[in-house]
Every structure is written in structure tokens, then in C-alpha cells.
Structure 1
Amino acid sequence: MSDVSLVRSSPSLKLALRFALREMRSGLSGFYIFLACIALGVAAIGGVNSVANSVTAGISTQGQSILGGDIRFQLNQREVNPDEHKFLESKGRVAVSANMRSMARLADGSDQSLVEVKAVDKAYPLYGSLETAPALDHASLFDEESGVYGAAVAQIFLDRLNLKIGDRVLLGSATFELRSVIVNEPDLLSDGFGFAPRFMVSLDGLEAAGLVQPGSLVDHTYKIALPAGTNETDIVALRDEAQKQFPQAGWTIRSRSNAAPSLSANIERFSQFLTLVGLTSLIVGGVGVANAVRAYLDGKRGVIATFKSLGAPGWFVIAVYLMQIVIIALLGIFIGLVLAAIIPYVAGYALQGVLPIASKGGFFPGALLAAAVFGLLTTLAFAILPLGRARDVPATALFREQGFEQKGWPKPVYIVAAVIPIAVLCLLAVVFAYDRRIAMIFVAAVAFSFVVLRAVSVLVQWLARRSPRVRSTALRLAIGNIHRPGALTPSVVLSLGLGLTLLVTLALIDGSLRQQLAGNLPERAPNFFFVDIQNRDVDQFTALLQGTSPNGKIVSAPMLRGRIVAFNGTDITKLVIPPEGAWVLRGDRGITYARNVPENSTLTKGTWWPADYSGEPLVSFSAEEAENLGLKIGDTVTVNVLGRNVTARIANFRQLQWESLAINFVMVFSPNTFAGAPHAWLATLTDPTASSQQEALVMREVTRSFPAVTTVRVKDAITIANELVGQLAVAIRAAASVALIASILVLGGALAAGNRARIHDAVVLKTLGATRRTLIKAFTLEYMLLGLSTAIFALLAGSAAAWYVVVRVMTLSASFQPQVAVMTLIVALVLTVGFGLAGTWRILGQKSAPILRNL
């Protein structure tokens, strides 16, 4: 039986597949943009998540080396007591270390540098190996020789002070010989990010330096190598036993399965951002899918008409072309998955100097499967409506019409069929996000962008339709092309608008951050932070600053370290904490006490305690953080300080000025709360008129007179932060360029899809006497007007989005960069005019006779 008779009698899905495969024998012409869009989006999503999984897997598999043990107990500002030490020693081999910041200075006092001091014992490291150049054992590296201790330092420290191996420096009140350069520190990642070079000494050397005094900001760490065969269940049991036996120890306990939580959390956040950017490129690509399907079906209108004339039902037509589209989409997904599988190995090689744990790459089926699902859902979501329109056009219209141009909404069944995959796509994006609130905002923003961009295209067409008649023939043709039926306006505005808006938003956020860090912020930020000022030295220290910087403003405050352990008597580990407030509970926080409201704070709710208050402990909480944590006036907060749990009632909320970089604390307690507790002081010096020479003098005098005080020059910290923002901006812009590339592909596809109608227009106009020059000028003007309209929208929308993020989320002041506006205009015009003319040039060369015969 022939295929035609089968169509007439009982068409089936098997027959539909046969027709679909037969029609695909002619190749993939018209679907290359389709393939590229799907492959690009799938590769971006799968690659990003594979890289994140690679790093996370590296942290998990190398957890012992990264952590420096199977389990780690960390105490702030105190060492373990005899009972706690006995408990730890009973569990396995223990390595003890201490971390703090201090100032290392040249022997003649001519220069100094902030350093991250790490003091280790002879058991260090329990796992992995400390690699130095030259390679030396523990005794050769750190032991005392003729009253001088040894140190291993980072190369950047030598470069900063122009030193070499064998030179000597002062740390605190002790002299250290620089005996080796640190090549690899196995547990570096578990210690977190450091703003200063590493300076590694022995515990005896740290004691000789006299840096650890009552109230000093020092972390004491105890890492344990448990007996062979200990599993994660045993480690969890050990953690519970330690908490039960020493409920007020206040130690932070971390196991090898969670060796670098901050790094893991940051990787998860960044991967979520990149996934959302990848999803944006995939959704932008969905517009390309819709354009490609519409153009393909337009070319197949004769075949579709034939099917319908032979009695094929509408569902059969849908099935034939849906199968083709799914097959092509699967090919694009396969290409994207191959690229995504390669990305972790490429990224691992590129990152091995920064994150050695990621250097091996890996294959992650879960990440690839998620990317494939996103790709398939996007294809279905954007292909169904063009297919539905083809199904509903009668055969006579298909033989007679140029295409599927229809006004009004498609039938409800097609709208529902398209909405279902879109809803599933949005649901998956939210469910698997690290921060679901951000994911929901993203989904809402994309939906809103589609609506707004559609409105923009309608507005542009409306303005073109009502524009005054112009004398220039080329300009009149260009304006007419913008609003005529089947115009490219909706496709161009939608495809280019999303990519440019994202690029403008990220560029403006980056520019505002740089402006804050390098421009306005340093003008009002302190010149110096001084940490670990002893109680007995506060007056003398203040006098020294007044003498060396008479025009400077000095602000000081007592400072302790504490960790929030409970709210209203409930352990924080048993509470559901919103992501935006979780940072307050992550590790130890700086805390203080004060008689009066701090000068950088504004009381927003509640009342401040009297200066001579002596009742139950009270605390003032930052208003924004309290709101994020769901706290209210009258709630209680339990903080572990120096191994003792202290519970205070919230008396008021304060609005803080974090952007000022002045002294700010999330929690300020009533003075009676920590009566008698050992603590140090924190101070700032602000002098906008100080020169570099005056700042150098302050550093020298403070370091010479108070060697245990840590001096942080704010400009240096800002420079480091600026470098980090720059590196992050490069990564973010690279990710955003994926969405822009998708926009360019979609733009090219949209212009290609309109080429058929453009051929007819060009032939008719040339027949009526239009010259090739006039047509080129008309098309150029049309593309320029569309690109300019899209760029203006991208500037407005991107500026609004950037303002919201910078002002509302980051609580900084936003700034507009004219160069971003100019670059956006240039990019929009180059893309639209360039791609438009590239496709139009071939059209203008078409012979008129064949086209006119088929009209």
C-alpha cells in the first residue's frame, strides 16, 4: 500500500515518523541556527554545573588533605582546657595550630607588611604534605637557632618587602629567619580566604613573638586523624558526643566531608548565577527555535497543504513536524552535552593554579541530564505555537498564501500545550536553585522581559505607523518595513533586547562596584583599622595616633568574638534560616558593648539602655539582618563567647552604614553583659588629607611601638577587593556573552527567516524602478532604527535592573557610566546592520522573472 493511501486510511505515529525521516533526507537547511541555540544553552548549563560538581567532588574526595584531618575543632580567642584536651587526645592523633593576622616588619623599621600568621606543631600536617622551596623538614624550617626562629612564607611576601631567603624580619617581639618559600599548603582552602601573605611559624615561635594576649583575635585549631576505618557515621557520633559532653565549649566542628564550606557555598552560588545566565541564553535561543520552526513550516506549506488535501488529520501534520523538530533538538542537545562534558577538563586545567582540587575534571551525568531536560523543554515550549498555527490553516489558504501569518491568539489548546513545558522549566529552575528566592525573581524577570519587549516592539511599530511622511524614498521604505505585516521588528527587538539588557545590567553593576571601591568609598572610609589593642594600651595608643596624625579622627571600640548558638532558646541548627540571613550565623562574629548608640548607627525601633544600666543582658541588633532572620524586639539571642553561653534580650534595632567601612557590629551589647571578660580594642583612623608619606609614618610608628597590634591599611584592602571584583567581572561578562551570542544567533535566524518575504519585496520594488542603492539604503536605515530602538530599551531596562541590585540589594549608591551607553548603541547597531545587510546582499541579487512567475 502506498504512503498516500495510508494517509487517506489510517495514519499512525509510525507512519508520521516515516514521513518525518523521509523529509529530513534533504539535510538540516534552515535549522543551523536552531541547532546552535540549543547546543549553546545546553553546553552552558551542563558545563557550569559539571565544573561545580567537579570542584565539590574534589573537596569531598580530598577532604582529609583539605581539612588537614578527619575532624577539626576550632576555638576563637582561647585554647582548650585540660578536660577538652584530654577528650580530643583520646580520639586519635592531634595536630594543633593557631591562626591570626599581624605585622611583619624589617629589622630597621623602614617597611612592614600585614601577614596571615599560621603557627603549627610538629604533627602538622596530618594528611597531605607541606611543600617548600627549598624542601626542609619541620625542625629545619621552624626551630630556634641562636635565638632566631625560622619561618616559611609566601613568595608575595618576599616580593612585597624586597626580601630573599635567609633574610630576617621582626614579628611581634621576636626575630624570624626566612628559611623557605611555601609552594603548597595542603589545608589552605579550609582556612578560608586571606587578604595577606602567609607567614608560617612554629607554636613556640608564635609564643616567643608575644602576639597572643588576652582578647587577641586568634583562632586555635585542633585537627584529629581518626583510626583507620572510621566512617562518616562515626564522625557524626563523635561530633554529637563532643557537643553533649562540652555544651558550652563554643567550638566550631567541621568534618572531612565538609572541609571547605565557604568555598562550597560560594561555588554553589556562582554556579547558580551562571546556570541562570545559561538558562537565559537557552530561553533567548528558544526565540530562535520559534523563528526556525516558523520559517521551516513556511517553506513546507505546499507539503502541508498536500497532506491536508489527501485527508490527513491535523494531528498527523503536527506529529510529522514535531518529530522532526524533536530529532533536530536531540541532535543539538547531544552536541551541547559533548561540549558540556569537555568543559570540566578545560576549566580544571585553567583553574589548577587556583583550585588544584578541580584539575582532574570528571563526568557528571546528573548535570548533563538536567541540561538536556532544559534544552528539550525549551524546544517544546517555543515550537508548539508555530506548529499549532500550521495545523489550523486550511489547505486552500496554504496553496494561496505566502506563509502562516495570522492575527490574534492561537487556539487555547496550543497555548496550554506551550505553557506546560514553560511551567515545568520554571519549576525546575526554582526547585534546584541554591537560593530559590533569587531563582523566582529570575523567572519573573524573564517573563516580564518577554512581555515588555513585546510591548516595545508594538510601540516601535505604532510609532513607525504614525510617523509623518518623509520625502526620502529610502527612509519611507525603511519606516514602512518596520510596521508592515510580517515585519522583523518583534523578532529583532526580542532577540537582541534580552542579550543587550543582560550585558548592560552586569556592566553597570560592575562599574558601580568599581566606583564605590576606587572612587567615592575611599574618600569617606578610614585610612587604617587597628586590631588587638590591649586594654592597658588604649590611652597610650590613642596618644600616639594623635601625635602622628593630628588632623585625624580616631574612633575606638571594645571587641570580642562570639558565635550565635540559639534564638529564643532554640539551637540554630534546628531552625530554618533564610539564605539572605545565613551569613550572620556562619562562624564567629565580631561583637562589642557600648553605653551609647554608636555614631554610625541610627536607632530604628525600640529604646537604648541607660548609661548606668545593670539589669539583664540586652543587645542591639542590626535591623536588616534581624528582619532577614525573622527576629523581633523581646526575642533572645544566645552567643558563645570565650567558652561561655551568654543570653541577651533584643532591646532595639539599628540601621548600619556598612558602605562607610567604619566600625560596625551586627550586635552591640549592654556594658554589663561582658563585665570582667578579657578583650582587646578595635580602632580606626580617618584623615582624608593624609599623604602616602604620612600614612607610612603612622604604620611605622604603630608597628614599632605596639608590635602586637595589627594594622590594616584600608587602601590596600580596597585594592585587593578591586582586583577580586575585576576577576569576578571578567567571569561574569564571559558568562553574559553566552547570552549575547545566543541573541546574535537568534537575530541572524530572524533575519534569515524574513529573507523570503524580503526577496518578494526587493523584486517588486526593482520592477517598479527602485535602484539597488535605494534598496540597500532603505534596509540599512530599517536595521539602524531597529537597533537604536532596542539599544535604548536595553539602556533603560538594564539601568533600572542595575540600580535595583546596587541600591536595594547591595545598599550602595549607583552610578551611570556613559561609556556603557555608547558601547550598547554601537553593539546594537553593528549587530543589526551587519547581520541585516549580510543576509540582504544576497537577496538583492535575485533574478526577477522566477520570483514574479511564482507570485
Structure 2
Amino acid sequence: MHGSLPPLSAPGPRRPANRPRLPLTLRLALRELRGGLRGFAVFLACLAIGVAAIAGVSSVSRSLTDGLARQGRIILGGDVAFSLIHREASPAERAFLEARGRVSVVAFTRAMAVAGEKGAALVELKAVGPDYPAAGDLVTEPGLARADLFAERDGAFGAAVDPALLARLDLKLGDRVTVGTVPIVLRAVLQSEPDKIANGLGFGPRLLTSEAALRASGLIQPGSLNRWVYRVQLADPSDARVEQVIAEAKAALPEAGWEIRSRLNADPRFSRSVERFTQFLTLVGLTALMVGGVGVANAVRGFVERKRTSIATLKSLGAPGGRVVGLYLTQVMLIAALGIAIGLSVGTALPFAIEAAFADLLPVPLSPTVAPGQLLVAALYGFLTALAFAIGPLGRAHDVAVSGLFRDTVDPERRWPRPRYLAILGLALAALVALALVTAFDRKVALIFIVAAGLAFALLRGVALGLMALARRLPRPARAAPRLALANLHRPGALTPSIVLSLGLGITLLVTLSLIDASITRTLTRSLPERAPNLFFLDIPSRDAASFDQLLGAAAPRGKIERVPMMRGRITALNGRPASEIKAPEDAAWVLDGDRGITYAEDLPDGSRVTAGAWWTPDQAKTPLVSFDDQLGRALGLKVGDTVTVNVLGRNLTVPIANLRHVEWRNLGINFVMVFSPGTFRGAPHADLATLTLPEGPDPALEARILRQAALSFPSVTSVRVKDALEAVNDIVGKLVFAIRGASGVALVASLFVLAGALAAGHRARLYDAVVLKTLGATRARLLAAYALEYGALGLATAVFGLIAGTLAAWVIVTQVMRIDFLLDLSGALVAAALAVAVAVGLGLAGTWRILGHKPAPYLRNL
């Protein structure tokens, strides 16, 4: 008959001979996956979140790096830039530069902009030539030609101004301010500078004017903190020629003392900051992935539970345990591949989305690109995490007998997986550690993170086992609800380990961030102003120092005035070894990068104490000697008797270290990394630095009056109110803390997913309990009370651990890494812990409520 089925023994359609046949394990795994991904939602979410975080951070970092590299010439303003402090280039130095390309000059200094009765404000003055910008575009509103923007008319020069200055002094376009001794008309609002990144951080709004205006202002004085940058555009802009010009400059003018940058690395400080922050965010993503690994383990455990009948069937038909494990491991890794693909897609799209949404707001160039190397690293993290957390639950089924698989529902057998699976677990964890170390910018930080993460997992596991042991030994309560809650804490298949781990990591992270935030805020807004000076004054001409002291004394008769000479110098060598060849630790490398403030003194500065060697005597002070900060000295491997070579005013001075001293930097008094003996710089031109401390503390009205009087009487002196500087720093740190909170939110979201997954994994056991107990007469209210007690006990115990562990972690970070005072303000931490516990109890009861709604009859038929 045409419609009849062929006999079972009849051969089916023949497979083409040349068609490749998939391995049996893979074919079975793909066939089983046709049934869908039920139970793997948390598994996919955890992997996707962690991989997306790592891939997204890496992709954005690569896009920033590519943007800096591609626009290096615009950012730098040329192919090579030579920067000098205190002085302009000599005729010989200028001739050397002009022989190699077209030279444009930009000068930077801080100054006071005085607006008559409206007051005075600190500005970051940038003076440019008529050819500015040599690369890129200057954007102002209104858009004016350079000749119209900067031209001198009626005795006043023009300028473009940051909108912040207009708001601060209540000014509008067309108004005048006085900078130094020259009036300046504000002709346009400054919207964009092509070389803004290379200019560095400023504490005041930008005022962009001409070089002619700066020369007319009287701000160019011997020893003044003016920075002159000579930007060279090469006729041959090849990379090889750039490196050749730098080498020629070092060889021909070794004592010029200039800082040299090239378009190949236009802003090394910014690049290092990007690398450091990328590492931090990558570690946060790895935290999310490791937390998600708990969700992976829960999902795989539930998967094995659902497949118990299939496993029993396969083993009863003769399938070896290794084949069974291989089959389901293949399924799990295929599902993991899907989650990883989702995460990689999100991470790849992130820089393109940021560029599309915030292109006009980004302060740095972003060149969105697909970074295969970074995506491969993120994928490896995901696969290794999935393997490490899945192999344990899967490997346990290898040696369990068929009858044991069925009995596992109510009496799970306790045994370790076979050594081969433990070896796979060990190799996966070792590969994760190696990958984190190899890809880290700072391997010490990465190693600390790995050790801390391992310790946290071990401690949380210990807390869970301790809770279960305690619950097992406690006397049984008389009432049913507490007795059931206590039994649920330690019975076979209890949720205690999963909930403690996921909730504990989340609470620990929240508490750590809360205490770090409180310590930073306290340091910036409370501690420092109580001890710090009220005002700083820079560039005080030595000849006017006495007169300036008289002005401050008259304005604040009870104020404390401190004044020291100040110059800028660059460390060029330590013990004869060039600074460029020294691989300094990250926390000390900044001393060798760029110029530093230096001074000389006969007596030990306030806030310092000698820790090695001895302070110089009056006779010793006549010879060149230097005192070095002890912490930085130890980091750089320096000791008493070693030599430091410093370039000051174009001269290299090699000076022995007479002593090391500990400096209390946090009081914001006058102090320096290097303090020289008076004989070192006798007769050298310099300006003075002064501070004024008011005995009554901050007084905004008096401070504003002193600022205005100083600006009118001494136009070349730059005045800085400490409160304004702290607010600028606080704003930067606030944005950084906000970014850290946002990034850490990824790990917290992963914790919530894991918690939800842990509760979902216990669905079968809870359903069994509910059916039996409801049949025996238990009411929904009594069961909810029992589950609320169980989740509440777990949440409370985990919150206590999170508070202790988070406090210890915050203390280490604040005191050992940030080196600021630790503030034990538990108000925010307690709120965070309480919210986490509330979320845990809420999620648990929400899932339980759904379970309690099931009718017992359909399930009793299958028990």
C-alpha cells in the first residue's frame, strides 16, 4: 500500500557517501538541543553580561587608542613637540627646530582675570601664534577669523573664553578683563580646541589669546611658571623620521631640559590612564563573569537533575560514564557559545553606539573599530568560566549507578568527581589566571584581584558550610514554621551555598564601594579644608616678596603666611642612569614623567621629618645637596649618598642625596618631593610660592577680597583658592567614582541573576515540599512564614559577612592603595546591605508564592 510505513528493519534514505558525518556525541547533543533552552536563561544571561562587559571595555579602549593614534598630529599640534618650563628656547635651540620643519609656538600659564568690581578668577591662559592651529580646527561662537579674534584694537587684545569664566564673573561677550597689565576683550566663546587633550588638566577656565597679548601682559618674568611648547611639522612625517628627529635633539642638545613628545604617542599620560582604567573595568567584568559562574554551576546542576532519566537510560543501555559526561558537556558548551556570542555582539557594538550617541560630547577622539584580539580574549574568558563551573556538576554523574541516579532526588550521593574532571577544572582555573595576568596592564593589581577573588569564594563557601553545620546542630523548634526553615538550611539540596555565594559577593561589593566613597568624600570635603591653607599664591617676583607679605598681613592680620622659593625641574638621571631607561613602579613613575616643583631651604620644612641621613648644617647648606621624599625614594631604589640629576633652566645639575624625609602631603602645606640646599641654586632666577592660612577657617568674603587686592596690586601673581582647587579635584573624583559605581553595577546585576537562578534551581524541591505539606494540611501563610524565616536567616548571616569583608577590603584599598584616611561610616553600607537582604527575601518569596499556587493533585499522581 502506498500509504503504509516501511518495516522497522527497512533501511532509511541513504546518506551521500561524500557527506561528512558528525561525531556521535555532537550529533546526540544537537538532537537534544532541539527541545529548546529551558532552564538556561540565567546561564545565558550570566555569560552574556560578563563577556559583554569585558568585550565592550576592551573595544572602547581599543577605539580610544586608535583614535589617539590616528589623530596624534592634531592632538599634538604637529609631528614632534618640545616643551620648556620657565624659559623660551634659545636661538640655537630654535634654529635646530626650524631646520627640521615648520615651527609653531604655544605658551601656557596660569593668571588672574580681573573684571573690576565683579571680582577676579583664576584662568588657564593659552597664548598662540597667528598660524594656530597648525592641525585641526578651532571652533568658537561666533566663528571669527584669527585676525579678528586676537587682534589688538584700542589698546586691548581679543580672546576666546571658556563659558565657565563668563558664568563665574557674570560677564558677556564684548566685556573686558585685565590679565597681568593688559586689557583683553572677550570676543568669542571657546567651544573646541583640537589640542585640548595634550594641554592637560587645568584648575581654571581656558582663556585663549595671542602670543603678543602674553608678552604685553608682564606675566613673562624670570622664574615664572610659563610653559613654552614648540610644535614641529616635518616635511617627511614618516614614523622613522619622527624617531630620527627625537634622537637628533637628544644628541645635539642634551642639556636643553625639554620634554619631547611625538604624534606617535601624543599624550602618554592619557594613554596610561586609559590602560589603567581599562584594566579596572576588565577586572570588574571578570568579577561579573566569576559571579555569573555560580549561576552557570546552578544551571548545569539543574540541567543534570532534569536529565536524570535520560542519563539513567543511557547508562542502562551501556553508555560509559565518560560518554555521558561528554554528551552533556558538549550541550552545555554549545549553549555557552550562544551566550558568549550574545556578549561579543553587545561588546562589539558598544563603541559604535557611544560614538553615534555622544560624538559631540566626547572630550577625546573615538575611532570605533572591531578588535578581533580583544574579542578573542573576552570569548576565552567566557569559555573558560563556563568550563570551570560546569565540569564539577557534570563530572559527578560519571560514577553514580543507574539506581543511584533515580535515588538522587531525595538522597543525593556525596562524592567528588573523578580526578580527570578535577584536572580539567584545575586547568580551566589556571588558564583563567594566566589569561588575566598576561592581558593585565599592571600584573601586581591583577594578581591581588585574583587572590582576593579566590579568598572571597573560599570564605563564602566556608560561611555556607558553617551555617549548614550550625543549623544541623541547633535544637529543633517546637513550632512548625521555624522547624521547617531550620531544616531547609541544611537538608540535601539546600539553597544555602548558592544564595550565600551570590548574595555575599554582591553585599561585599556594595559595602566596599560605599566605604571607599565615604572616605574619598570625607578626605576631599571635610578633612583637608580643616588643615589646609585657604589661599595659594604663585609666581611672586622675588623683588616684590616683602611687599606682597605686607599686603597679606594688612588684609589678614591674624593669618599665617608661609613663603618659599619655587622653580620647576625635570629629573633626567638617577645615579647616572637616564630617567628614560628606569622602569619605575606605577606609583612612583610620575616623578620621572615631566617637570616637578622644586625649592631650596636652610631648615627642615614643616610637615616633614628626616627618616634617613641628617638635615644639612649651615656650612653644608653652602654646597649642592638634596633631600628626597622617602616613600618615592624607596620605590625608585634610592638611598643616602646616591645622586639625582635635575635639569633646571637648561642646565643639568647632579646632586647627592643628603637625607630622606617623610612628607605629610595631606595637610596641603608647602612641601616638595625634592628640597635642595641653598647653595645649589644661589643666584638662579626664580619666583616665590606663598600660602595664607586664616585662623577662623574658610571665609569666602575675605578670601574674595584678598584675591582681588592681590590681582590689582600684583598683576603677575597667580592666586588659587584651595576650595576651588578641591572642588575641581572633587568633581573629577566624583565622576570617577560614578564611573566605578556604574561599572560595578554590572557585577551586581550578575549577582541578582545568580540569586534568581539559585532560587529557580530549587524550584523542583520546593514544589515537592509544597505539595506534600499542603496535602498534610499546611496553609499558604504558614509555608510563606517558614520560607521567609529561611531566606531572612540566610540574608542576615550573609549581610554580616558582607559588612565585615567589605569593610576590610575598603580599608586595604583606601589606606594601602589610595593612601588616605579611612572613614568607618557604615550608614551607607548598612543601607546597601539591608537592600540586598530585602531583595533576596523578596525574590525568594516571589518564587515561593508561585510554587504555592500549584494544585497538589496533578503532582501527587506522579510521586
| TM-score with structure 2 setting the length | 0.95
Matched, 1:813 2:807: no
Counterpart residue identity of residue 68, structure 1:
G
| Distance in structure 1 (CA, Å) of the matches to 2:169 and 2:839 | 50
Contact persistence 2:515–2:829 (CA under 8 A): no
Q: 1:291 maps to which residue?
A: 298
| Distance in structure 1 (CA, Å) of the matches to 2:785 and 2:522 | 42
Q: 1:674 maps to which residue?
A: 681
Aligned ranges 1:698-737 → 2 under 5 Å: 698-737=706-745
- Deviation at 1:240? 0.3
| Distance in structure 1 (CA, Å) of the matches to 2:456 and 2:411 | 26
Q: 1:256 aligns with which of 230, 244, 263?
A: 263
Matched, 1:61 2:70: yes
- Deviation at 1:853? 4.8
Q: 1:278 aligns with which of 256, 273, 285?
A: 285
Q: 2:229 aligns with which of 211, 221, 227?
A: 221
**CA RMSD of the aligned region, Å?**
1.8
Q: 1:6 maps to which residue?
A: none
| Distance in structure 2 (CA, Å) of the matches to 1:408 and 1:26 | 30
SS of the counterpart of 2:23?
helix
Contact persistence 2:511–2:833 (CA under 8 A): no
SS of the counterpart of 1:222?
strand
| Distance in structure 2 (CA, Å) of the matches to 1:768 and 1:303 | 32
Aligned ranges 1:532-571 → 2 under 5 Å: 532-571=539-578
Q: 2:104 aligns with which of 95, 101, 105?
A: 95
- Deviation at 1:483? 1.8
Matched, 1:750 2:758: yes
Q: Deviations over 1:709-739 (max 9, x none)?
A: 1101011111122222222222111111110
Segments of structure 1 that go 5 or more residues without pairing to the other structure are 4-11
Q: 1:452 maps to which residue?
A: 459
Q: Which deviates more, 654-663 or 582-591?
A: 654-663
* CA 551–276 in structure 1, closer or farther in 2 if over 3 Å, else same: same
Q: 1:474 maps to which residue?
A: 481
Q: 2:149 maps to which residue?
A: 141
- Deviation at 1:408? 5.0
Q: 1:498 maps to which residue?
A: 505
Q: 2:397 aligns with which of 374, 379, 390?
A: 390
Q: Deviations over 1:833-855 (max 9, x none)?
A: 12112221222233334444544
Q: Which deviates more, 388-397 or 40-49?
A: 388-397
Contact persistence 1:514–1:725 (CA under 8 A): no
| Distance in structure 2 (CA, Å) of the matches to 1:369 and 1:124 | 43
Q: 1:601 maps to which residue?
A: 608
Q: 2:120 maps to which residue?
A: 112
Counterpart residue identity of residue 198, structure 1:
R
Contact persistence 2:118–2:170 (CA under 8 A): no
| Distance in structure 1 (CA, Å) of the matches to 2:770 and 2:342 | 37
SS of the counterpart of 1:392?
coil
Q: Deviations over 1:569-590 (max 9, x none)?
A: 0112222222121111111111
- Deviation at 1:360? 4.8
Counterpart residue identity of residue 70, structure 1:
D
* CA 405–566 in structure 1, closer or farther in 2 if over 3 Å, else same: farther
Counterpart residue identity of residue 586, structure 2:
P
* CA 457–93 in structure 1, closer or farther in 2 if over 3 Å, else same: same
Contact persistence 1:535–1:680 (CA under 8 A): yes
Q: 2:536 maps to which residue?
A: 529
Q: 1:302 maps to which residue?
A: 309
SS of the counterpart of 2:620?
coil
Identity within the alignment, %: 53
* CA 670–412 in structure 1, closer or farther in 2 if over 3 Å, else same: farther
Counterpart residue identity of residue 452, structure 2:
A
Q: Deviations over 1:619-674 (max 9, x none)?
A: 11111111222222222111111111111122222111121111121111122111
| Distance in structure 2 (CA, Å) of the matches to 1:354 and 1:565 | 38
Q: Which deviates more, 780-789 or 405-414?
A: 405-414
| Distance in structure 1 (CA, Å) of the matches to 2:458 and 2:102 | 63
| TM-score with structure 1 setting the length | 0.96
Matched, 1:828 2:836: yes
Q: 2:669 maps to which residue?
A: 662
* CA 405–251 in structure 1, closer or farther in 2 if over 3 Å, else same: farther
Counterpart residue identity of residue 508, structure 1:
L
* CA 346–664 in structure 1, closer or farther in 2 if over 3 Å, else same: farther
> How many residue pairs were aligned?
845
Q: 1:172 maps to which residue?
A: 180
SS of the counterpart of 2:191?
strand
* CA 592–406 in structure 1, closer or farther in 2 if over 3 Å, else same: farther
Counterpart residue identity of residue 105, structure 2:
V
* CA 688–451 in structure 1, closer or farther in 2 if over 3 Å, else same: farther
Matched, 1:73 2:85: no
- Deviation at 1:403? 7.1
- Deviation at 1:302? 1.2
- Deviation at 1:400? 2.6
Q: Deviations over 1:426-478 (max 9, x none)?
A: 11111211111111110111001001111111222233233344343212211
- Deviation at 1:349? 4.0
Q: 1:508 aligns with which of 500, 503, 515?
A: 515
Matched, 1:619 2:626: yes
Q: Deviations over 1:814-845 (max 9, x none)?
A: 11233323322332222211211222122223
Q: 2:802 maps to which residue?
A: 794
| Distance in structure 1 (CA, Å) of the matches to 2:862 and 2:408 | 11
Q: 2:4 maps to which residue?
A: none
Q: 1:187 maps to which residue?
A: 195
- Deviation at 1:2? 11
Q: Deviations over 1:220-256 (max 9, x none)?
A: 00001111x4211110010000000000111111111
Q: Which deviates more, 630-639 or 247-256?
A: 630-639
- Deviation at 1:143? 2.1
Contact persistence 1:301–1:398 (CA under 8 A): yes
Aligned ranges 1:356-395 → 2 under 5 Å: 356-395=363-402
| Distance in structure 1 (CA, Å) of the matches to 2:608 and 2:383 | 52
- Deviation at 1:401? 2.4
Counterpart residue identity of residue 36, structure 1:
A
Contact persistence 2:197–2:363 (CA under 8 A): no
| Distance in structure 2 (CA, Å) of the matches to 1:468 and 1:218 | 78
Q: 2:793 maps to which residue?
A: 785
- Deviation at 1:770? 1.7
- Deviation at 1:688? 4.5
Q: 1:82 maps to which residue?
A: 91
| Distance in structure 1 (CA, Å) of the matches to 2:56 and 2:316 | 47
Q: Which deviates more, 810-819 or 329-338?
A: 810-819
Q: Deviations over 1:171-228 (max 9, x none)?
A: 001111111111211111111111211111111110110001011011100001111x
Segments of structure 2 that go 5 or more residues without pairing to the other structure are 1-9, 13-20
* CA 382–204 in structure 1, closer or farther in 2 if over 3 Å, else same: same
- Deviation at 1:276? 0.3
* CA 406–211 in structure 1, closer or farther in 2 if over 3 Å, else same: farther
Q: 2:129 maps to which residue?
A: 121
